[in-house]
Amino acid sequence: MADFNKATIGAVPNPILAEKSDPLHILQMVKNLKHQPITGVTDDEILLRARNLAQLESFCGFLPIWKGKKSPMLKYGGEPHLSLQEALGFKPAALAVRSPNLLTLDYDKESSFDFAAERGIDFTFPTTHFRRTDNDERFKQVFYCPDELLAELPNRSIKRTINYCGSGLDVFLSNSCYILCDGEHEKGKGRYYSPSGLDIPDLATPPKEVWDLALEIAQGEPKSRTRKRYYNTKSRKMNPCIICGRDERLWCSESDNGLIFCMNGSTFSSELKHGTLNIGDVVDGYALVKQSPTCNTFKFHEPKKRHTPIRPLKRRKALARR
């Protein structure tokens, strides 16, 4: 087990101002750009942010982001990491960061905070946050996962997991996912930034509750490169849940593709209501199709239809004799 107490970017090997980017030069670059991909009003603020971002270069790459979009200005899959200075060379309006070592929890809906709270995950835990100045209800919480932690995951990564168990929480840990971290939001109103105390130098390794969630998600991933992608579907809260009866702190949801995510809480859960369940068990017309410590997933149970009509025995024998 990795040491969860060893935190902060100070513990990152070869950290602090990778020689690749010179913050003073970056300040000059930023001041000459049409858009401002590094957030800050005064020169000192921009310089500080550039210094902080540059610290990520030892294990992260930067991506330049188009004005008015959320997409990178270049293909990056399988490509080497760009330094901060290289990314700024594209004259982007915003910047994103990617790394095989960054675990991201993306709190995208109010329900994601309930989900976190129920699992003992502290969404105010002091590590790096990437937020938006125009929206403080959505943010990304980022953790540093050293290689010895990655070794505990079957694929050493977690693919982009959207709306995990209908919670509204997105989770990923992959060099092929990127996180918008600085500059203009696509709609041009807000800007990405990290609050004081939750800035890049505050980057920490994940506390146990967070890492347990990562392990749970990773163990649900097949150990293969050709995994079918599961796209996000809309889900709505059930009041009460038709499986467990939950009618407070509404947490169980029904997706528009007919799945029911019944969450395992301490007061309500499918097994508290119906006893021990195994995959395939049918509860009130819904079959249990997936089990995890967090949630039991049910699907409307359709009894198997017979595809070949059974003919009377005599007729079949008669046919066989022909």
Is 252 a binding residue for Zn ion by CB under 5 A? The answer is yes
Which of 243, 277, 283, 288 is in the footprint of Zn ion by CB under 5 A?
Answer: 243
The residue among 121 and 241 lying less far from Zn ion, judged by its C-beta, is 241
Q: How far is the CB of 252 from Zn ion (least distance, A)?
A: 3
Calculate ∠ Cα 128-130-133, nearest 5°: 135
Contacts of 144 (CB under 8 A, 6+ apart): 9, 12, 59, 101, 102, 103, 127, 203, 204, 205
| Per-position DSSP letters for 123-154, written without gaps between them | TT-SSEEEEETTEEEEEEEEEE--HHHHTTST
Is 165 a binding residue for Zn ion by CB under 5 A? The answer is no
Q: How far is the CB of 263 from Zn ion (least distance, A)?
A: 6
Is 30 a binding residue for Zn ion by CB under 5 A? The answer is no
Contacts of 304 (CB under 8 A, 6+ apart): none
Q: How far is the CB of 241 from Zn ion (least distance, A)?
A: 3
CB atoms within 10 A of CB 142: 27
Q: How far is the CB of 118 from Zn ion (least distance, A)?
A: 12
CB under 5 A: which stretch of 9-17, 144-152, 165-173, 233-241 binds Zn ion?
233-241
The residue among 189 and 249 lying less far from Zn ion, judged by its C-beta, is 249
CB under 5 A: which stretch of 96-104, 185-193, 245-253, 309-317 binds Zn ion?
245-253
Instruction: For residues 218 and 159, give the distance between their C-alpha atoms in angstroms, rounded to a whole number.
Output: 8
The residue among 172 and 268 lying less far from Zn ion, judged by its C-beta, is 268
Q: Identity (one letter) of the amino acid at 223?
A: K
Record the tokens describing residue 183, joined without a space.
């500059």
Cβ distance 88 to 36 under 8 Å?
A: no
Calculate ∠ Cα 268-106-15, nearest 5°: 130
The residue among 198 and 262 lying less far from Zn ion, judged by its C-beta, is 262
Cβ distance 250 to 167 under 8 Å?
A: no
CB under 5 A: which stretch of 26-34, 166-174, 246-254, 313-321 binds Zn ion?
246-254
Cβ distance 263 to 293 under 8 Å?
A: no
User: Which positions from 189 to 228 touch Zn ion by CB under 5 A, shown as an x/- string?
Assistant: ----------------------------------------
Q: How far is the CB of 111 from Zn ion (least distance, A)?
A: 14
Q: How far is the CB of 276 from Zn ion (least distance, A)?
A: 16
- Residue 170, strand partner residues: 106
Q: How far is the CB of 249 from Zn ion (least distance, A)?
A: 11
Which of 218, 244, 259, 277 is in the footprint of Zn ion by CB under 5 A?
Answer: 244
Is 295 a binding residue for Zn ion by CB under 5 A? The answer is no
How many Å separate Cα 156 from the centre of its chain? 15
Instruction: For residues 250 and 241, give the distance between their C-alpha atoms in angstroms, rounded to a whole number.
Output: 8
Catalog residues that contact Zn ion under the rule CB under 5 A. 241, 243-244, 246, 252, 262
